[in-house]
Amino acid sequence: MNRQNLCKACDGSGLLMDDEEWRYTCSVCGGDGVMSMGESPEPEKPFSVDENNRTLE
Protein backbone atom coordinates (compact mmCIF):
# COMPACT_ATOMS: atom_id res chain seq x y z
CA MET A 1 0.00 0.00 0.00
CA ASN A 2 1.25 3.46 -0.89
CA ARG A 3 2.03 5.52 2.26
CA GLN A 4 0.79 8.67 0.51
CA ASN A 5 -2.74 7.20 0.30
CA LEU A 6 -2.99 6.35 4.01
CA CYS A 7 -5.53 8.34 5.99
CA LYS A 8 -3.65 10.95 7.99
CA ALA A 9 -6.29 11.04 10.76
CA CYS A 10 -6.05 7.33 11.71
CA ASP A 11 -2.64 6.53 10.14
CA GLY A 12 -4.18 3.75 8.06
CA SER A 13 -5.70 1.76 10.94
CA GLY A 14 -9.31 2.80 10.24
CA LEU A 15 -9.83 3.51 13.94
CA LEU A 16 -9.55 6.61 16.09
CA MET A 17 -9.14 6.70 19.87
CA ASP A 18 -10.39 9.34 22.30
CA ASP A 19 -8.85 10.48 25.60
CA GLU A 20 -10.52 7.64 27.50
CA GLU A 21 -9.08 5.12 25.00
CA TRP A 22 -12.44 4.31 23.39
CA ARG A 23 -11.85 3.18 19.81
CA TYR A 24 -14.26 4.05 17.03
CA THR A 25 -14.40 4.05 13.23
CA CYS A 26 -12.44 6.85 11.60
CA SER A 27 -14.89 9.51 10.42
CA VAL A 28 -12.42 10.85 7.83
CA CYS A 29 -11.74 7.69 5.77
CA GLY A 30 -14.86 5.76 6.79
CA GLY A 31 -12.84 3.01 8.46
CA ASP A 32 -10.89 1.69 5.50
CA GLY A 33 -7.66 3.58 6.33
CA VAL A 34 -7.14 4.83 2.78
CA MET A 35 -7.79 8.22 1.20
CA SER A 36 -7.82 8.09 -2.61
CA MET A 37 -6.71 11.04 -4.70
CA GLY A 38 -9.62 13.45 -5.03
CA GLU A 39 -11.66 11.81 -2.24
CA SER A 40 -13.17 14.38 0.12
CA PRO A 41 -12.26 14.07 3.82
CA GLU A 42 -15.67 15.55 4.71
CA PRO A 43 -18.37 13.07 5.81
CA GLU A 44 -21.18 12.37 3.34
CA LYS A 45 -23.76 13.39 5.95
CA PRO A 46 -23.55 15.08 9.35
CA PHE A 47 -23.07 12.74 12.30
CA SER A 48 -24.28 13.03 15.88
CA VAL A 49 -21.98 13.46 18.86
CA ASP A 50 -22.55 13.13 22.61
CA GLU A 51 -21.70 15.68 25.30
CA ASN A 52 -18.06 14.48 25.24
CA ASN A 53 -17.91 15.06 21.46
CA ARG A 54 -17.74 11.32 20.71
CA THR A 55 -19.46 10.14 17.55
CA LEU A 56 -22.70 8.24 18.03
CA GLU A 57 -23.21 5.24 15.74
Per-residue pLDDT of the chain (57 residues; tens, 9 = 90+): 567 789 988 999 999 988 889 898 888 888 899 987 777 777 777 778 888 777 776
CA distance 56 to 47: 7
Q: Measure Cα distances from 24 to 2, 3, 13, 33, 37 in Å.
A: 24, 22, 11, 13, 24
Q: Give the pLDDT of residue 48.
A: 82
Q: Give the pLDDT of residue 13.
A: 93
CA distance 38 to 57: 26
Q: Give the pLDDT of residue 1.
A: 57
Q: Give the pLDDT of residue 44.
A: 73
